[in-house]
């Protein structure tokens, strides 16, 4: 404005704010959060070094690896949500996941968190092939073992790619790479899960078959991979089709909120899927 103020849209409407009262969202990050992030990064690096030294044959570090996949997903989403919140529209209860990587400072958290999740997922798939596939060699679906491993790596690569190449407001090569990475993550995980579930359907008399914890983990992976993801992806599409067919517009950005909630649910659902491998790793190492 002419009097040296910025006009800012907030939840209650338009506000005129002095320029000296404007500051980046990153300045609001408390020191404890910065130290916590640094500590989490250091602990994750130590975990990966321990896995490299032990070859994945120490139960505690092997169990912590898939658990860290879920922890980093939750931490990344929470951090991005907090930093991106001032940029969301008032009617948006939950921003889309890709949307949170468009602008700084949330973009930095999105990139570093996604790259870390991709690395942890790749290491989890590596342990999966080393510790679990030997117990499934006699399965009727044993021929799908390489398929399950390779598609797990595709999913891990997809997470990293969509995180490093964040969404832009225009259709650019970076945006296309972002969407390609997101598709690789979803389809790679579902393909890996389908092959993995087939392998675990015939455990014979292995240690995994005798462990209640492993059987619970196997059942939970089936729930996370067979029906729930498809339902979560179809619900927004069905609502959009219903809205178009009936000309009944959802008010207040409700459709966008539903789509965003479905995205969050799908990602967290897949995080739980990979986290359940912790039970299988523990049983396999203890039985060896």
Q: What is the mean pLDDT of residues 162-188?
A: 93
- Encode pLDDT of 200-257 as tens digits: 988 877 888 889 999 999 999 999 888 777 776 676 666 656 655 565 555 546 777 8
Is residue 99 within 8 A of residue 70, CB to CB? The reply is no
Q: Judge contact between 128 and 65, C-beta under 8 A.
A: no
Structure confidence at residue 154 as a pLDDT band (50, 70, 90): very high
Using the predicted structure, report yes or no on whether residue 62 has a pLDDT greater than 90: yes
Query: 9-23, 26-40, 203-217 — which is least confidently predicted?
Result: 9-23
Q: Average pLDDT, stretch 57-70?
A: 95
- Nearest Cα neighbor of 236 from 221, 253, 224, 222 is 253
pLDDT tens digit sequence for 116-149: 999 999 999 999 999 999 988 877 888 999 999 9
Coil, strand, or helix at residue 153?
helix
Q: What integer is the mean pLDDT of 151-163?
A: 97
Give the pLDDT confidence score for residue 27 in this predicted structure: 62
Angle at 109 between CA 106 and CA 110, to 5 degrees: 85
| Top-confidence range, 93-107, 171-185, 199-213, 225-239 | 171-185
Is pLDDT larger for residue 138 or for residue 21?
138
Reduced to 3 states (helix: H, G, I; strand: E, B; else coil), residue 126 is helix
- Give me the pLDDT at residue 284, please: 93
Span 69-95, average pLDDT? 88
Element (H, E) at 245: helix 228-246
pTM score, whole prediction: 0.86
Rg (CA), the chain: 22
Residue 110 pLDDT = 95
Strands 13-18 and 5-10: antiparallel
The first and second tokens of residue 95, run together, are: 């921003």
Instruction: Write down the pLDDT at residue 163.
Output: 95
pLDDT of residue 117: 97
8 Cβ contact list (under 8 Å, min separation 6): 14, 15, 16, 17, 22
Q: Strand pairing partners for 8?
A: 15
């Amino acid at each position: 404005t002419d009097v040296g103020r910025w006009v800012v849209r907030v939840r209650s409407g338009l506000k005129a704010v002095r320029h000296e009262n404007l500051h980046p969202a990153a300045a609001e990050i408390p020191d404890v959060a910065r130290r916590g992030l640094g500590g989490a990064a250091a602990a994750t690096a130590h975990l990966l070094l321990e896995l490299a030294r032990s070859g994945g044959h120490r139960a505690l570090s092997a169990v912590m690896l898939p658990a860290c996949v879920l922890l980093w997903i939750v931490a990344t989403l929470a951090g991005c949500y907090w930093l991106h919140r001032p940029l969301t529209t008032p009617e948006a209860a939950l921003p889309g996941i890709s949307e949170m990587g468009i602008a700084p400072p949330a973009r930095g958290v999105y990139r570093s968190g996604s790259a870390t999740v991709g690395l942890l997922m790749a290491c989890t798939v590596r342990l999966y092939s080393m510790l679990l596939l030997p117990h499934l060699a006699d399965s009727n679906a044993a021929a799908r073992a390489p398929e399950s491993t390779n598609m797990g790596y595709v999913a891990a690569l997809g997470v990293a790619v969509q995180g490093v190449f964040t969404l832009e407001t225009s259709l650019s090569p970076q945006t296309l790479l972002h969407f390609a990475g997101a598709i690789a993550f979803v389809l790679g995980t579902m393909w890996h899960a389908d092959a993995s579930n087939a392998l675990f359907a015939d455990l014979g008399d292995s240690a995994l078959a005798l462990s209640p914890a492993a059987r619970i983990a196997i059942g939970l992976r089936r729930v996370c991979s067979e029906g729930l993801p498809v339902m979560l992806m179809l619900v927004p599409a069905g609502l959009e089709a219903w809205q178009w067919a009936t000309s009944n517009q959802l008010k207040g950005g409700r459709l966008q909120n539903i789509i965003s909630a479905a995205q969050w649910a799908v990602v967290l659902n897949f995080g739980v899927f990979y986290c359940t491998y912790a039970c299988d790793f523990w049983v396999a190492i203890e039985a060896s």
